[in-house]
Amino acid sequence: MKNPPSIGAPDNKVRLSTLFGVFAKIGAFTFGGGYAMIALISKESVEKRKWLNESEFLDLIAIAESTPGPIAVNSATYLGYKLRGFWGSFFATLGVVLPSFVVIVILSYFLEAFRHLTWVGYAFQGIAAGVAVLIINAALKLFKSVPKNWLSFVLIVFGFILAVTDLIPTPLVILSGGILGFLIHLSSRRKSGESL
Q: Rule CB under 8 A: which of 86-115 touch another protein?
A: 86, 89, 93, 96-97, 99-101, 103-105, 107-108, 111, 114-115
The nearest distance, CB 15 to another protein, in angstroms, is: 19
- Among 118, 191, 192, 195, which residue sits at the site for another protein (rule: CB under 8 A)? 118
Q: Phi-psi category of 67—alpha, beta or left, where left has phi over 0 and alpha has psi -120 to 50?
A: beta
Least Cβ distance, residue 41 to another protein (angstroms):
10
Reduced to 3 states (helix: H, G, I; strand: E, B; else coil), residue 182 is helix
Q: Which one among 20, 77, 84, 91 touches another protein, defined by CB under 8 A?
A: 77
Q: How far is the CA of 142 from the CAs of 35, 42, 63, 139, 186, in angstroms? A: 14, 9, 16, 5, 26
CB of 174 to another protein, least distance (A): 6
Are the CB atoms for 91 and 16 separated by under 8 Å?
Answer: yes
Does residue 70 touch another protein according to CB under 8 A? yes
CA 68, CA 41: separation in Å to the nearest integer?
Answer: 19
Smallest gap from Cβ 117 to another protein, in A, equals 9
Sole binder of another protein in the list 19, 22, 52, 74 (CB under 8 A)? 74
Torsion from C-alpha of 19, 24, 25, 28, nearest 10 degrees: 160
Among positions 16-45, residues that touch another protein (CB under 8 A) are: 25, 27-40, 43
Q: Cβ closer to another protein: 13 or 178?
A: 178
**Binding track, positions 163-182, relative to another protein; x by CB under 8 A:** xx----xxx-xx-xxxxxxx
CA distance 68 to 12: 29
- Which bin fits 40, alpha (ψ -120 to 50), beta or left (φ > 0)? alpha
Instruction: Using CB under 8 A, pick the residue from 5, 16, 21, 142 that binds another protein.
Output: 142
